[in-house]
Structure 1
Amino acid sequence: MTEPEQQPPKAPRALVVRGGWEGHAPVAASDRYAAVLKEDGYEVTLSESLDSYLDKALMAASDLIVQCWTMGQITGEQLAGLSRAVRAGTGFAGWHGGIIDSFRNETGYQLMTGGQFVHHPREFTTYQVRPQPERADHPIMAGISPFSVTTEQYYLHVDPAVDVLAVTDYEPDPDNPELTGTVVPVTWTRHWGAGRIFVTAIGHNLADLDIPEVDSTIRKGMAWATR
């Protein structure tokens, strides 16, 4: 009897959705990680419309959604399509304002991502990012030691249910001195139904993404979130 021919494993599929405020370079930043995903064997679809979240076939076929969309507005139907896909097992990943300063008026979106940007000092700040010692075994944090960045330091409102992987101490802010020293999450994950969500707060500009620890965290975060 002839053995059935084994089929090669299906390549994972990623949907990259980008747009919103141009100050975060959504096209250039997402192009960078679309190229990374292609190098890692993903089939990548690029979209500059939130209507992609309405395409049930596209969403069901996507193993990962990478969103780079700062501010803007999402309709209830678009949000429902995104949430439904993630609950069914599609991963969701992003960095900085592209995932945690999106759709400020949609608390349902913030509930899903587990956090929301609310403030940063007027000037760039040099601050240290500290991986949580108790999460050192998490695959996203493998090989990451404490490191410093000079960029926007996000002050965030964060869901207490998320799994915090790295934190920072909030640096002095002349406009809000009472915030100084607050421990603020930088990188976290959460589950949403069967789906995995990865968030990191760093990534204001392309130079941030060149920092080896930031780049490594995003690469491993996307891989971890993938169905």
Structure 2
Amino acid sequence: MSDAPGASLHDSERKALVVRGGWEGHSPVEATDMFIPFLEKSGFTVDVHDSPAAYDDAGALLDTDLVLQCYTQGVATDQQVGNLMAAVQAGTGLAGWHGGIVDSYRASPDYLHLTGGQWAAHPGGLVDYEVAVVPERRDHPIVEGLDRWHHHTEQYWCLTDDLNDVLLTSRFVATDETPWRTDLVVPAAWTRLWGRGRVFVSTIGHQLEDLDVPEVRTLTERGLLWAAR
């Protein structure tokens, strides 16, 4: 599987499923509404659901080219998560940002296994921090031409594994006041291959204005297209 996006910007007849809801602090409706026109312009027919019950239909998931998951916390049944995993393994793409993808369905180890990361903390709440492209990944189509930029928002500390291809990182700085004693560099965006499917995760997006930062908008749009079948 190459690093190139799954299809050209003008391919037609592709299907995207948007699953949004959960904790309203992440504005799931407004946030996904920022990207639905982009998906439609990119040739997707978009189906929007407000609960993980959308994952009950295993056949429809297998026929879906991209799942945009924006559902913070909440509960998904083992069957729903199993259907999603099977679809991604068969080639359906999965993508999302912030708590909508890495703070979802906390009771499901299988969902964590699929996404490759789980939110653990955002020390300090809204803070100033920098994200930077991993030097070895500068030619990846999701981050090509991007470098580093600053945010004032939640900085996610996620627990991840080495199966992820990390594209962006941020640094938590140790001080006399922090319980961690050494600076820690953590993933801020990554991709993950799962069977024949692709997963894209960005940790940036607590506030709507975060998603409108030009670099983040570019990162997210490219990530959606990269993940799609």
Category of TM-score, reference length = shorter chain: over 0.9
2 CA distance for matches of 1:9 and 1:169? Answer: 38
Q: Which residue of 1 aligns with 2:15?
A: 13
Q: Which residue of 2 aligns with 1:147?
A: 149
Q: 1:123 to 1:218 in 2, by over 3 A?
A: same
1 CA distance for matches of 2:125 and 2:49? Answer: 32
Q: 1:9 to 1:176 in 2, by over 3 A?
A: closer
Gaps of 5+ in 1: 1-7
Q: CA deviation at 1:58?
A: 1.7
Q: Which residue of 2 aligns with 1:196?
A: 198
2 CA distance for matches of 1:219 and 1:179? Answer: 36
CA contact (8 A) 1:121 1:175 kept: no
**Which residue identity lines up with residue 138 of structure 2 in the other structure?**
A
Q: Which residue of 2 aligns with 1:66?
A: 68
1 CA distance for matches of 2:195 and 2:175? Answer: 38
Q: CA deviation at 1:73?
A: 0.8
- The number of residue pairs the alignment matches comes to 220
Identity of aligned residues (%): 45
Structure 1 residue aligned with 2:180, among 178, 181, 190?
178
CA contact (8 A) 2:12 2:43 kept: no
Give the 4+ runs in structure 1 shifted more than 4 A: 172-175
TM-score in terms of structure 1 length: 0.92
Structure 2 residue aligned with 1:223, among 222, 225, 228?
225
Q: CA deviation at 1:115?
A: 0.5
SS for the counterpart of 1:219 is: helix
Q: Which residue of 1 aligns with 2:26?
A: 24
2 CA distance for matches of 1:14 and 1:150? Answer: 31
Instruction: Please identify, of 168-177 and 126-135, the stretch whose mean Cα deviation from structure 2 is larger.
Output: 168-177
1 CA distance for matches of 2:12 and 2:143? Answer: 27
2 CA distance for matches of 1:81 and 1:108? Answer: 11
Q: CA deviation at 1:56?
A: 2.3
Q: 1:117 to 1:175 in 2, by over 3 A?
A: farther
Q: Which residue of 2 aligns with 1:53?
A: 55
Q: Which residue of 2 aligns with 1:214?
A: 216
Q: Which residue of 2 aligns with 1:5?
A: none
Q: 1:139 to 1:27 in 2, by over 3 A?
A: same
What are the equivalent positions in structure 2 for 1:93-108 lying under 5 Å apart?
93-108=95-110
CA contact (8 A) 1:117 1:156 kept: yes
Q: CA deviation at 1:57?
A: 2.9
CA contact (8 A) 2:11 2:42 kept: no
1 CA distance for matches of 2:163 and 2:70? Answer: 23
Gaps of 5+ in 2: 1-9
**Which residue identity lines up with residue 61 of structure 1 in the other structure?**
D
Q: CA deviation at 1:161?
A: 1.3
Q: 1:106 to 1:41 in 2, by over 3 A?
A: same
Q: CA deviation at 1:36?
A: 1.2
| Higher Rg of the two aligned structures | 1
1 CA distance for matches of 2:93 and 2:34? Answer: 19
Instruction: Please identify, of 83-92 and 121-130, the stretch whose mean Cα deviation from structure 2 is larger.
Output: 121-130
